[in-house]
Structure 1
């Protein structure tokens, strides 16, 4: 590619030189013939003077006047031809210097064609890509800082409680065995929550680093949803809620990892129970739209504020501002769900208003039976 550009450049330059030399030679020969013609055929004194002056210069140059004038004219023509390119290169250098000093919002604007135009476009594309990379690196750094802060907080809180209650037990500062068992049970529950957080964090990290393996098989999505909802009946009753299903009559066959999809829909149902128990019902629906299986998990509890809605799939993001909420969980469930769905080339979105909150999953359908 580089050799082609090199040869193309020099061929173009030689063509320009040849054209300029030929043009100047033709002009000079034409001028000479016109002067000879006028000298022979006219009595105009000024023409005679011009012709004699021309012949004197011609003789002094030993017949090489054409060459000298051709050189002068060629130099002028060549400078005229290359002036715009030189001006464009100077502008490119100036703009590139400004970019090099950190102004990545600046773009080079040069009205030119050919290789110079391609060069400008390539520099502008490099600048845009560098700007995007810089922005992404800053976001990644901020995300890393936020992750460290959130993980530290979420690990330290239960760990402090565990240490505190175990210290009471170790120091024999309990009244009786009932109180001993009470403290031990609290420490045990906190330890389980800590274990859940650590496992979820590891799983999410593997998903985002693309180091997780999917065991994909053809699955009837309607049957899988029915089994997950049936499994949650105890949780619904414990929360004084009811599940309602409205599944497509079609068998929606998807190629997916059954275990991972179960985890994703379990997270959505758990979320609906935690935050939607005031609405009493959780609806689960399925349908087919444009070769996509559409699954909706709907609850009728408190709505999600519009300011929080774009962030609910972020790690550790909770709608309630107090991190001492009584609502359990690792704060990673929806983020894990989003990663699972995206690993299956699907999408997940959320909608919320005063009447209901909808989590919608779309997965590519392999077959509809």
Structure 2
């Protein structure tokens, strides 16, 4: 689990990398300090062992002069005399072989016993004590006389034993210091850090290079997700961004193509009625008619074409406003089932005229929705008009209403020619006609379903189309109030 967390976090990976580098540099420093220390070791004159030797001799003398043996009178205890003889022999050996001086003084520093090589008759006690203490604590002790000082009981008298002499020097070697140890540790840290982060840095450079490729306009490039951490997430987000950008560009290109087709269609649709209007008005202006009835017919034709022209312009104007959300919505609570019942009554006769039977399946209970009534009537009128226009005759149109606790769904179905999947998906796109060769006389402006979609989405609803078994179904889904 810990490794999984590390793999998903660059921060933890960096902390782990730094920890490993610090540990490795510490080992490098320890090893290089050992190696360079041996190379640069320095000789040093050490008097410690010599001082210890003098001190040990003094201790041995103190042990021979154990105070209980000197508390009794020498005449009474013969062992005391034996001990004194051993003490004196020991002093002679020390004086002869080690050249150390041995003194026994009273508390005032007056010498009461001395070795043969000592000439002092009086000793400065405080100076001796200072000499003994300084020699033990002075790291820079040079060759000079050292005195070991101990209080004793000499022949029943409180005294001081002083053993002094020149300590014997010994040569020792001390490891030297070299800046190469620290430099080696720093170099090891840098090299290991570079080596451990090299893979990540190559991946960062790869992502940066990918962004430069995308910036040139190559939207087919996809970054490879090489890790589960933040860099992998960045690669995934880059791919999603490129896919979304590619989709948007393709949609814009398709919309531009459809817009160009619409301009062509609308130009043709506007030119045709306008040409007819101008032609009949010219005939009326030039009195190119034979009877008043013929003139009235020309007027009626020109007027109907002018109405068609106005309808086309109104569709364009309304779709533009709906797309830009410039049309205010006057929503109110309405029973959708009652509204549909009233609207369908108007289409019964129109359906019969075109050999189409209208069947409705609408529940009696009130299904309240908050809608702009005029705009929503426009939606259902567009759907029903399309059903009348493109149904196979004779036939029937089915209107079904269903609902759950939150939504109501209106389904309008009719038999029609089969559409391709691409046509079905683009039915509600702006400027789209199933057959590009259709004009406004037989195929509409291509804005009816796009206007319906804009109205439904302004009501926070959804509209879509499906087909099966030779039938096409249009769905409108709205929230219940």
Q: Same fold (TM over 0.5)?
A: yes
1:137 aligns with 2:138: no
Hey, what's the Cα distance between the residues in 2 that align with 1:17 and 1:329?
Answer: 71
2:48 aligned partner:
none
| The one of 175, 180, 189 aligned to 2:304 | 189
| The one of 417, 422, 443 aligned to 1:303 | 417
1:55 aligns with 2:25: no
| The one of 159, 174, 186 aligned to 1:71 | 186
Provide TM-score, normalisation by structure 1. Answer: 0.77
The one-character-per-residue Cα deviations of 1:43-87 (angstroms, maximum 9, x if unpaired) are xxxxxxxx7x86225679853342232233233223323322332
**Counterparts in 2 of 1:311 and 1:116: CA distance versus 1, 3 Å:** closer
Hey, what's the Cα distance between the residues in 1 that align with 2:212 and 2:17?
Answer: 31
Partner of 2:393: helix, strand, or coil? helix
Cα distance, 1:29 vs structure 2: 2.4
2:391 aligned partner:
276
The 5 Å alignment of 1:99-138 reads 99-109=214-224, 111-112=226-227, 116-138=231-253
| The one of 263, 283, 290 aligned to 1:175 | 290
Partner of 1:284: helix, strand, or coil? strand
| The one of 315, 324, 333 aligned to 2:448 | 333
Report which of the two has the higher share of helix: 1
Q: Which of 1 and 2 has greater Rg?
A: 2
**Counterparts in 2 of 1:304 and 1:343: CA distance versus 1, 3 Å:** farther
Hey, what's the Cα distance between the residues in 2 that align with 1:12 and 1:351?
Answer: 52
In structure 1, runs of 5+ residues without a counterpart are 1-8, 34-50
Is contact 2:37–2:178 with CA below 8 Å preserved after alignment? no
1:256 aligned partner:
371
| The one of 336, 342, 349 aligned to 1:227 | 342
In structure 2, runs of 5+ residues without a counterpart are 1-9, 43-174
Is contact 1:91–1:110 with CA below 8 Å preserved after alignment? no
Hey, what's the Cα distance between the residues in 2 that align with 1:356 and 1:111?
Answer: 49
Hey, what's the Cα distance between the residues in 2 that align with 1:63 and 1:265?
Answer: 92
| The one of 347, 350, 364 aligned to 2:462 | 347
Is contact 1:252–1:293 with CA below 8 Å preserved after alignment? yes
1:160 aligned partner:
275
1:24 aligns with 2:25: yes
Partner of 2:321: helix, strand, or coil? helix
| The one of 263, 266, 271 aligned to 1:151 | 266
The one-character-per-residue Cα deviations of 1:195-245 (angstroms, maximum 9, x if unpaired) are 111111111111122222111111111100111112334434544554332
Hey, what's the Cα distance between the residues in 1 that align with 2:463 and 2:15?
Answer: 61
Provide TM-score, normalisation by structure 2. Answer: 0.61
Partner of 1:278: helix, strand, or coil? coil
Hey, what's the Cα distance between the residues in 2 that align with 1:263 and 1:30?
Answer: 88
Cα distance, 1:28 vs structure 2: 3.9
Hey, what's the Cα distance between the residues in 2 that align with 1:101 and 1:352?
Answer: 42
Hey, what's the Cα distance between the residues in 2 that align with 1:224 and 1:355?
Answer: 29
Hey, what's the Cα distance between the residues in 2 that align with 1:13 and 1:297?
Answer: 62
**Counterparts in 2 of 1:58 and 1:256: CA distance versus 1, 3 Å:** farther
Aligned residues: 340
Report which of the two has the higher share of strand: 2
**Counterparts in 2 of 1:61 and 1:21: CA distance versus 1, 3 Å:** farther
- More moved, 327-336 vs 179-188: 327-336
Backbone CA RMSD of aligned residues:
3.6
**Counterparts in 2 of 1:331 and 1:175: CA distance versus 1, 3 Å:** farther
Hey, what's the Cα distance between the residues in 2 that align with 1:324 and 1:127?
Answer: 38
The one-character-per-residue Cα deviations of 1:134-173 (angstroms, maximum 9, x if unpaired) are 3333234323323322222221121111112212222222
Cα distance, 1:340 vs structure 2: 2.0
**Counterparts in 2 of 1:120 and 1:195: CA distance versus 1, 3 Å:** same
Hey, what's the Cα distance between the residues in 1 that align with 2:439 and 2:255?
Answer: 27
